[in-house]
Amino acid sequence: MATGPDFNSPIETDLTDFSLINTPMLNKGTAFTEAERGVFHLHGLLPPHVGVLDEQVARRLKVLRAFETDFERYAFLRDLQDTNETLFYALLVRNLEEMLPLVYTPTVGEGCQRFSEIWRKPRGVFLSYANKHRIREILSNPRFDQVRVIVVSDGERILGLGDQGAGGMGIPIGKLSLYTGCAGIHPDMTLPILLDVGTNNKERLADPLYVGWRHERVTGAEYDDFVEAFVEAVADRWPDVLLQWEDFAGSNASRLLLRYRDRLCTFNDDIQGTAAVAAGTLLAAINVTGVKLTEQRIAFLGAGSAGCGIASLILQAMIDDGASETEARSRFFMVDRNGLLIEGMQGITPAQTPFVQKREAVAGWTLQTPNEIGLLDVASNAKPTALIGVSGQAGAFAEAVVRAMAQHVERPVIFPLSNPTSRSEATPEQLIAWTDGRALIGSGSPFAPVEWKGRTIPIDQTNNSYIFPGVGLGVLASGARRVTDAMFMAAGKALAKMSPTIDDKNGRLLPTVDRLRAVSLAVANAVARQAQADGVADRCDEAALSGRIKAYVWEPQYRPYLKRD
């Protein structure tokens, strides 16, 4: 069982003057006390007023709200994080609903596209292919000794925006900010890493400001050898680390997870985290619709790693609820770029195979175009109760599709999960209008409430931030050695148990964003208990486990400093 960290005792440091102020995790700005200013030679470097964290938060919040665009706010927050991390996280934790869209989706998408414009200070590690022989040397730096959670990306499939090269570093930075903001994992325990193997984005390569390795993407055996060298170095440097794969292209995401999930404690958030939040939100919607999980008919637009990950988890949940595997599989309708996945199609991947429809099941369908089965055909013939979009295609949930679905279902469950906002399959306003206000909506990015016939309908952001921070907290606190699929099932069910729809059929599907810390604690408890049940973590009683989880939760506040002799 892992040992909980100490967040209460004074911090000893031998840093002084500018070196202390320029260390983001130690900088207090105007909140250094008079005594600390004397001991650490700070007089004259700071204005004479001795402030407190509360007024610093108020000051930064005033500046933040004065900016005209969210990208300006994003850049401001990134600079604050690189200047004073305690203040940054105090601002984030106290204003989660306002800050989440600025720190992560949807604004992080533009942050990745314009990463080179605003890069100022080092954060995380760039492992470029040109430095492949230096991976172990780079990771050996003593400042990384406390690392327990790594988020790594190669920047190839950033949200729905595609290849952003080195700009993809914005994703690991943003994700780990939420590990801290939502679950309280101390910033010193986190490390964002970008595997810079080049980019095929011509705009990035032509940009004179681009900070990445100017080379077309390395692929094939060279790419695999580079990733292998990285994983081996990580496993040797941090045997107990939790490694999260993030925004790898579909061709690599599934196979890298399969290759490494039994070699170290690792998961892919795009596959498993997305699956858990979608499954949890669907279970919450069932409280409203009354349609049992085993009776759901689920259509997907997008049959890549995310879509198959969601379908796989829901499939297992159906089986757990008593459906046979054959019956459960028949209830999934996966539509990709070539239409509905059916027997005999070329290019079916192993992950897609369980969800391929039998030809006889669709033989009697009335089709818009002979021999082509599109999403509208699925909506008209399969009569899905739920529609999930992970296509990255803006507007892909056409009006005709949604209206066809709504003709056959009293309360259609519709999740346009692609983000950022510009890639959403439909806007909530459209979905509400096309279903006459009956749709139950979960969106990948935040949307404003929809006004409909005198009602104000809030829109739940079905975002992975409800899942992965709690998973990380549960793994760390329990000392889990591996991450199992059952742990993500437990996470999704824990989220569903917190749905307001349990007590109010007209309530939101998910808890509000300002409750994400409470959600993360609940998810962490469920994940940690499941890790014990799966035999990947040592057992202890529930009270001890709960205490261990709480011990890992860092609250952003200043601690007293002592001069190290």
**Residue found under tokens 């055909």:** 377
Q: For the chain, how many residues are written?
A: 565
- Candidate CATH numbers 3.40.50.720, 3.40.50.80, 3.30.390.10, 1.10.40.30; the one for domain 272-463: 3.40.50.720
Binding site feature residues:
157, 246-247, 270, 419, 463
Return the pLDDT at 206: 96
Binding site feature residues for (S)-malate:
157, 419, 463
Residue 498 pLDDT greater than 90, yes or no: yes
Return the pLDDT at 250: 82
Q: What is the pLDDT of residues 437-462, one digit of tens each?
A: 999 999 998 999 999 999 999 999 99
| Architecture of the domain whose range is 52-263 | 3-Layer(aba) Sandwich (3.40)
Q: How far is CA 464 from the centre of its chain?
A: 4
Mean of the per-residue pLDDT values for the chain? 96
Residue 257 pLDDT greater than 70, yes or no: yes
Decide whether 52-263 matches 466-551 in CATH topology: yes
Mean pLDDT of 177-200: 98
> At 509, which amino acid appears?
L
Mean pLDDT of 126-151: 97
**Buried b or exposed e, range 336-366, using 16+ CB within 10 angstroms:** beebbbbeeeeebbebbeebbbeeeebeeee
CA pair distance 344, 352, nearest whole angstrom = 13
Residue 362 pLDDT greater than 50, yes or no: yes
What is the residue extent of each domain of the chain?
52-263, 272-463, 466-551
Catalytic residues: 104, 175
Q: What is the pLDDT of residues 279-323, one digit of tens each?
A: 999 999 999 999 999 999 999 999 999 999 999 999 999 999 999
Return the pLDDT at 370: 87
Q: What is the pLDDT of residues 60-99, one digit of tens each?
A: 999 999 999 999 999 999 999 999 999 999 999 999 999 9
How sure is the predictor about 3, in pLDDT bands with cuts at 50, 70 and 90?
A: low
CA pair distance 368, 376, nearest whole angstrom = 8
How sure is the predictor about 2, in pLDDT bands with cuts at 50, 70 and 90?
A: very low
Residue 1 pLDDT greater than 70, yes or no: no
CATH of domain 466-551: 3.40.50.10380
Check if the beta carbon of residue 149 is closer than 8 Å to that of residue 185: yes
Return the pLDDT at 565: 78
For the ranges 247-251, 352-356, 405-409, the lowest mean pLDDT is seen at 247-251
Mean pLDDT of 253-271: 96
Binding site feature residues for a divalent metal cation:
246-247, 270
Q: What percent of the chain has pLDDT over 70?
A: 99
Return the pLDDT at 251: 82
Mean pLDDT of 233-251: 95
> At 274, which amino acid appears?
T
Residue 411 pLDDT greater than 80, yes or no: yes
CA angle 287, 288, 291 (to 5 degrees): 75
Residue 246 pLDDT greater than 70, yes or no: yes
**Buried b or exposed e, range 509-545, using 16+ CB within 10 angstroms:** bbbebeebbebbbbbbbbbbbbbbebebbeebeeeeb
Check if the beta carbon of residue 32 is closer than 8 Å to that of residue 46: yes
